[in-house]
A and B are shown apart, each in its own frame.
Chain A
């Protein structure tokens, strides 16, 4: 009886996921073709158009965020793992976890006030910085955890060979922990590619490709949000197609990472 109830709960959790996947695939599948992925959005009322700028924008944001967030997060994680066994380290760890649960709209306000209003520009850089703030604590945490699993014997062996501490960390420890770090990075990327709220306040949106670091750009979640409320059926179809593309990106990263690290870790990757 308890077994049945427990199973029922699991089914209740899985049904929405199945429903989302089924609906997105069912509605979005017919929309996706080469034209969809490579053309600019059309004029309302016409039936031509695509979401290419949104795809490019999402890729651009991922790249920029990675450039800013990955080194910062990895270095911070290294600090916590290697040098962080003191009060300062504990404080940093705690603050990092607090940062993880920041409402994303508050991050949007922060960057909007500091960057967008101050420089009179919506820009991909503002968007990327906002996403970096969201992703940094996650990468820090997963890096720290991965590094902690590297056995001390490795560090000792390196020291015994006369390798300096920082080289040990970079060459030996990082490469041993790399699968955990990469897992964390890829999962963060998957998460930020779906973030919308900070983007509304920092990149505005665009119907064109990226042309200039000081101009608004488009992004997949933003386009889905804008197109979802259209009464014009063609545009709403575009939203389904964009949703499918986004889900493909996100799930490929997530499922791929899980498959690649199957058995390596007990499910501690998850709560992003």
Chain B
């Protein structure tokens, strides 16, 4: 043996210093520092966080309303997760969220399963048909492709596969600049993969044409859509795909098309009333669709027949919809996860959404709730109870 007896031979490896350093590194990147960072930046953390989930359709306006609310009520923050209408209602049913948001009303089955959930309209918005049609390197079809419901149904179903199909050309003779014609490219349809209120509204519009076989649904079965269709999740996913991939066509809420850089082109849709014309989706044409409202049920009632599609007003854009917040009427269903303060905060927040929060609507191209709708919403909010007592007078 040549080694010195008693010595432990260490073949290299990390020194004590490195060991200590790595311990420090691990501790430093552990939750301890995360906790401390929060304490440093926000010495008095908000006491109440309300959790909501659902519709991506209303995400722009809800996040604006939430930010505004927290500005004037700094001890209340609202964590809204934009995961799609279907996921929002499921989360509400599982009671993992305080409120759900959906552009589709509760179905008959859902009314039964989420017993004592009430429906509160929070805004009105438009669904546009957005597209990406490149002509050449320097020109693509800007907003204003003319479509009607039958041609739209055929495109989304796969019956029409090229941009220069006779039906599309027939509608667009006057719409395009001279010398520009629709290209002979294959159309790629973009629809929603997730369970979507926006899909519900759009398929409701398409169902107006006898051509559309997919029915009205938050998630039509795969064969409803054209073969080779792309299916991202969320309004933002659809907008992002249309923006990046050429020769696509899909449906998104108006704000998503407007706020992309550059704005995503969208179609003008045929409104047959008053002689008939192609209507551009704007704040005012959406407002016209909301000008003749159906009579609204109570919050606890059945909203499945309520829609603002195909308004008879000649200047109205045909694909306009309410979007809703669903909450439990009796907040005791949450058990120990709910207390008086949170219940009160929730009700105060909802009151703000339908009143002061509506200031955020117009600038984001959503229609502010008409006063009759606000009255309906307020009645529903007043009916919310905790421990047997109502929370807003």
Q: Identify the A interface with B (CB < 8 A).
A: 38, 43-45, 52, 55-57, 59-64, 66, 116-117, 120-122, 154, 176, 178-179, 182, 185-186, 189, 204-212, 214-216, 229-233, 236, 249, 256, 260-261, 263-264
Interface contact A189-B94, CB-CB below 8 Å: no
Interface contact B13-A231, CB-CB below 8 Å: no
Smallest Cβ-Cβ distance to B237: which chain A residue: A229
Contact with A along B1-39 (1 / 0, CB 8 A): 000000010011110001100100110011111110110
Interface contact B81-A186, CB-CB below 8 Å: no
Interface contact A44-B59, CB-CB below 8 Å: yes
Given A215-B49, A230-B240, residue A44 in contact with residue B259 (CB < 8 A): yes
Contact with A along B48-77 (1 / 0, CB 8 A): 010101000001100110010000000001
Query: Ordered nearest first, which 6 A-B pairs have the shortest CB separation?
Result: A63-B31, A63-B30, A59-B34, A231-B260, A231-B239, A60-B31
Smallest Cβ-Cβ distance to B28: which chain A residue: A59
B175 at the interface (CB under 8 A from A): no
Interface contact B35-A60, CB-CB below 8 Å: yes
Interface contact A63-B34, CB-CB below 8 Å: yes
Rounded to whole angstroms, the CA-CA distance of A261 and B15 in the bound complex is 10
B41 at the interface (CB under 8 A from A): yes
Interface contact B64-A43, CB-CB below 8 Å: yes
Rounded to whole angstroms, the CA-CA distance of A252 and B51 in the bound complex is 35
Interface contact B96-A178, CB-CB below 8 Å: no
Interface contact A211-B19, CB-CB below 8 Å: no
Q: In this complex, which of A120, A214, A261 has the most chain B Cβ atoms within 10 angstroms of its Cβ?
A: A120
Inter-chain pairs besides A55-B34, A56-B38, 6 sampled, C-beta below 8 Å: A38-B37, A56-B34, A207-B79, A209-B41, A229-B234, A231-B256
Q: Identify the B interface with A (CB < 8 A).
A: 8, 11-14, 18-19, 22, 25-26, 29-35, 37-38, 41-42, 45-46, 49, 51, 53, 59-60, 63-64, 67, 77, 79-81, 83, 94-96, 232-234, 236-237, 239-241, 243, 256, 259-261, 264, 334, 337, 364
Interface contact B18-A260, CB-CB below 8 Å: yes
Rounded to whole angstroms, the CA-CA distance of A87 and B240 in the bound complex is 55
Given A120-B337, A179-B19, A249-B29, residue A43 in contact with residue B14 (CB < 8 A): no
Rounded to whole angstroms, the CA-CA distance of A44 and B18 in the bound complex is 44
Contacts between the two chains (Cβ within 8 Å), count: 136
Q: Which residues of B contact A207 (CB under 8 A)?
A: 63, 79-80
Q: Which residues of B contact A154 (CB under 8 A)?
A: 8
Can you list 12 contacts pairing A with B, beta carbon distance less than 8 Å? A44-B59, A45-B64, A59-B33, A63-B30, A116-B96, A182-B19, A204-B81, A209-B42, A229-B236, A233-B260, A256-B22, A260-B22
Rounded to whole angstroms, the CA-CA distance of A231 and B11 in the bound complex is 54
Given A52-B41, A116-B96, residue A43 in contact with residue B18 (CB < 8 A): no
Rounded to whole angstroms, the CA-CA distance of A211 and B31 in the bound complex is 13
Instruction: Give chain A nearest CB distance to B365 CB in angstroms.
Output: 11
Q: Which residues of A contact B67 (CB under 8 A)?
A: 43
Interface contact B337-A229, CB-CB below 8 Å: no
Q: In this complex, which of B8, B14, B240, B264 has the most chain A Cβ atoms within 10 angstroms of its Cβ?
A: B14
Interface contact B32-A63, CB-CB below 8 Å: yes
Smallest Cβ-Cβ distance to A252: which chain B residue: B25
Interface contact A206-B34, CB-CB below 8 Å: no
Q: Which residues of A contact B49 (CB under 8 A)?
A: 208, 211-212, 215
Interface contact B51-A264, CB-CB below 8 Å: no
Rounded to whole angstroms, the CA-CA distance of A216 and B385 in the bound complex is 25
Given A116-B96, A216-B81, A263-B12, residue A59 in contact with residue B30 (CB < 8 A): yes
Q: In this complex, which of B19, B33, B81, B241 has the most chain A Cβ atoms within 10 angstroms of its Cβ?
A: B81
Interface contact B59-A117, CB-CB below 8 Å: no
Q: Which residues of A contact B41 (CB under 8 A)?
A: 38, 52, 209
Given A116-B96, A229-B240, A232-B260, residue A179 in contact with residue B13 (CB < 8 A): yes
Q: Which residues of A contact B96 (CB under 8 A)?
A: 116, 120-122, 204
Given A59-B29, A60-B35, residue A211 in contact with residue B12 (CB < 8 A): no
Contact among B59, B81, B95 for A206, CB-based, below 8 A: B81
Rounded to whole angstroms, the CA-CA distance of A116 and B80 in the bound complex is 18
Interface contact B22-A182, CB-CB below 8 Å: yes
Interface contact A264-B26, CB-CB below 8 Å: no
Given A52-B41, A210-B35, A211-B49, residue A44 in contact with residue B60 (CB < 8 A): yes
Q: Which residues of A contact B234 (CB under 8 A)?
A: 229
Instruction: Give chain A nearest CB distance to B197 CB in angstroms.
Output: 18
Interface contact B240-A231, CB-CB below 8 Å: yes
Rounded to whole angstroms, the CA-CA distance of A140 and B51 in the bound complex is 37
Rounded to whole angstroms, the CA-CA distance of A242 and B364 in the bound complex is 27
